[in-house]
Amino acid sequence: MEREARRRSLFLFLAFGSPLLASGFLRIDRGERNYMKADQMKSWKREELKPEAGIGSRKLLAPCFLLLASCFLLLCFAAAFLFSSSSSALAAGEIVIKVATLAPQGSEWHKILQEMGAEWQKASNGRIAFRLYPGGVAGDDADLVRKMRLGTLDAGLLTVNGLSVIDRGVLGLEIPLAYSNYGELDCVLEQMGPDLERRMEAKGFVLLGWSEAGWAHFFTKSPVRTPDDMRKLKMFVWAGDDEYVELWKKAGFNPVPLPSTEIATALQTGLVNAVTVNPQGILLLQWYKQVGYMTDFNWAVFLGGIVISKSTWEKIPADIRPIVKQAAFKAAQRLKDFSRRTDKSDMEALKKNGVQVVPVDENTLNAWRRLIEGILPQVRGSYLPADIFDTALKLRDQCRRRAGEAGK
């Protein structure tokens, strides 16, 4: 029905609009109406355009008047065409949800999101129309959050950087070297997740599912073992977080803030020569061609989540929201499972592509821990809310203790 309505409007537009536009070239001369041909137009004499006494130039004004009238009518038909298209969509109750992500097109991440969208459409009986923009075409994570606030985007698969733009509390799950394994992180997230979700909802966003992309490591153009090795390099950090940049600078490092969409160019040109990212990301984006070394310790889990703006969420009929949320939760869980399952194979693939793993012994790892411990007092209460910081580490200790007792 919608297509038929558009066809009818388009037919009216073409059938009546074109002759009306042509009528703008009508010439009225002493009550006679004739179509002006091109050769007749050229033969006009300048004196014919002079106004007649007491009336003005009917020969000049009449065509202009008709042209303006024609344009007005064309606009009316165009408006009718657009109205019929939009009204038919509204009549069908269709809700268009535009979703964006940094995940490259054709990747497993892209595929899982497409399948999630298909579930949304099927579960809603076509009331939801899903539009996916992969590969950073809609911008960096910070851009996605800004566009969701403006209403030009509706949802996104965000990295922890995007989630922290919404609320800094999520960074309690990203304290470097704080978590020894996935089990500790899962245990803390299970207990802190609901509160973090409430904080985000209070700021206009609904988190539909937590995802992750494996452990983040240092990938560099020269070997890095110690903090001093890293201080010699130019480190990529996410743009838009000046406080984070200052934390690195105070610790003696050289952070270079950039949008993540510019990392590839920055690595090629030498603007940066170190990046903290997961092995899967290095493979998908083929950054291993620029960075040939990986430091062998787990910096932090590369968290993320599927988020929708609260305004869009509330447009979705209440009866299908649970189905939409469940499909997104399932997609996020699949992303998490995929990342954990491919940890080892990703490392092997990097080695095959020439990336050298730089071993780090316990003494060197302790040097990194001391560095972080020295920075954390500046983080607590200023960069990261003190209550979130304290709760995260307290829960981490409890989870670690329980795991130790269970292992005895």
Q: What pLDDT tens digit does each residue of the chain (408 aa) get?
A: 444 444 444 433 333 344 333 334 333 343 433 333 334 333 333 333 333 333 334 343 344 333 444 444 444 444 444 444 444 444 456 899 999 999 999 999 999 999 999 999 999 999 999 999 999 999 999 999 999 999 999 999 999 999 999 999 999 999 999 999 999 999 999 999 999 999 999 999 999 999 999 999 999 999 999 999 999 999 999 998 899 999 999 999 999 999 988 999 999 999 999 999 999 999 999 999 999 999 999 999 999 999 999 999 999 999 999 999 999 999 999 999 999 999 999 999 999 999 999 999 999 999 999 999 999 999 999 899 999 999 999 999 999 999 887 765
pTM of the shown model: 0.77
Q: Where are the alpha helices (DSSP H) in 256-385?
A: 263-269, 279-285, 310-315, 321-341, 343-352, 362-379
pLDDT at 240: 86
Q: What is the pLDDT of residue 251?
A: 94
Sketch the domain layout of the chain as residue ranges. Answer: 2-91, 95-406
DSSP letter at 316? S
Q: List the alpha helices (DSSP H) in 33-140.
A: 38-42, 58-91, 108-123
Cβ neighbours of 351 (radius 10 Å): 13
For the beta carbon of residue 173, count every other beta carbon within 10 angstroms.
24
| DSSP conformational letter for 98 | E
- Are 170 and 292 in contact, with CB atoms under 8 Å apart? no
Question: What fold, for 95-406?
Answer: D-Maltodextrin-Binding Protein; domain 2 (3.40.190)
Question: Is the separation of the CB atoms in 210 and 301 below 8 Å?
Answer: no
- CA 142 to chain CA centroid, nearest Å: 8
Residue 241 confidence (pLDDT) = 87
